[in-house]
Amino acid sequence: MEPKRIFVTGNAGFIGFHLAQRLLADGHVVTGYDGVTDYYDVSLKRARLALLAEQPNFTFVEAMLEDGARLKQALAESGAQWVFHLGAQAGVRYSIEHPQSYVQSNLVGTSNLLEAARETPPEHLIFASTSSVYGGNTKIPFAETDRADSPVSLYAATKKSGEAMVHSYSHLWGIAATSVRFFTVYGPWGRPDMALFKFVSAMQQDRAIDIYGEGKMRRDFTYVDDLVDALVRLAGAPPVKGQPVKGDSLSAVAPYRVVNIAGGKPSELMAFVAAVENAMGRKAKHNMLPMQQGDVVATQSDTALLHELIGVLPETPIEVGVARFVEWYRHYYGVN
């Protein structure tokens, strides 16, 4: 593929960092944009940025999504052909206690990004959404064409709103856009507020791990490298109005579609815990707890559209992905 100029919001974050690394390795020119907020350990974000800064084709702009003027300037100066909008306030549970941060980052920030894209349209805009938008849906697996009108967290509601905003700009201004719904992404450099990080940290300190839903929840775990590979492949397949593929979610009025990214092979939470125990070489103390507000019992992706568009699916086994995280964690924190 010919090198592209690419704009990535949220590149100091877990997935944005991995995506930027992959794009740079592929020879693309990347401009990153991130506010480096203190939602979690800022030093972890700075460490990610330091690795990216070693690459000559990487430029970083430290600013908030809420700063519409700075965002417009940065996107225009990047000359981006692809835009990946991963910047957001993440976390289901945090949204219950800090709703305004989600409104500002996920709604106002996305609105600003879309206004910037309207003035300097990319060839393809990819918006990071979440499987959480399926909310209270009881039909499994979740398909892109299913209704997603019952969010059970504000985080999910802001992401579904973001999808609607992206669709409207795609329709009004002809911007080719894809909303990608991520399913429980994990891997090295992951967020400290996510289950895998918490499990390993607790076990390292010989503390009990909190297992919600009494361990009966199921998740379509997606290893971060698989997700990034799917994102890059999807970027090269922008939707075209009036040209659907088999099983498409393509809009009838815009060059816009929704795509799930996952392997479609959910695992029981206790199987995930067993993979962590195996990688750590020890058994964990289990603190069984009821489900938390905003959680759902199970997620599973319908992967037919993703496979139709890019020909492959995420397939890294959880045992392999978890072991890679544990290896990174021990190296990063200098523990055995």
Measured distance CA(182)–CA(130) in Å, rounded: 5
CATH code: domain of residue 116: 3.40.50.720
User: What share of residues in the chain are helix, strand, coil (percent, to 5)?
Assistant: 45, 15, 40
pLDDT at 98: 86
Q: How many domains does the chain have?
A: 1
User: Would residue 186 show up in a list of annotated catalytic residues for this protein?
Assistant: no
User: Domain for residue 139, yes or no?
Assistant: yes
User: Domain for residue 195, yes or no?
Assistant: no
pLDDT at 215: 84
User: Domain for residue 215, yes or no?
Assistant: no
pLDDT at 242: 97
User: Domain for residue 148, yes or no?
Assistant: yes
Full domain range(s) for residue 80: 5-187+221-264+300-316
Q: Does residue 144 contact residue 134 with C-beta atoms inside 8 Å?
A: no
Q: Does residue 110 contact residue 162 with C-beta atoms inside 8 Å?
A: yes
pLDDT at 293: 75
User: Domain for residue 194, yes or no?
Assistant: no
Measured distance CA(336)–CA(329) in Å, rounded: 9
- Identify each DSSP E strand in 45-161 by its residue range: 58-62, 82-85, 124-130
Q: pTM for the complete prediction?
A: 0.96
User: Domain for residue 174, yes or no?
Assistant: yes
User: Domain for residue 326, yes or no?
Assistant: no
pLDDT at 14: 98
Helix (H), strand (E) at residue 328 = helix 318-333
CA dihedral 188, 261, 141, 169 (to 10 degrees): 130
User: Domain for residue 164, yes or no?
Assistant: yes
The tens place of each residue's pLDDT in the chain, 336 residues long, gives 799 999 999 999 999 999 999 999 999 999 999 999 998 999 999 999 999 999 999 999 999 999 999 999 999 999 999 999 999 988 777 788 888 999 999 999 999 999 999 999 999 999 999 999 999 888 999 999 999 999 888 999 999 999 999 999 999 999 999 999 999 999 999 999 999 999 999 999 999 999 988 888 999 999 999 999 999 999 999 999 999 999 999 999 999 999 999 999 999 999 999 999 999 999 999 999 988 777 788 899 999 999 999 999 999 999 999 999 999 999 999 998
**Active-site hit among 94, 102, 134, 155:** 155
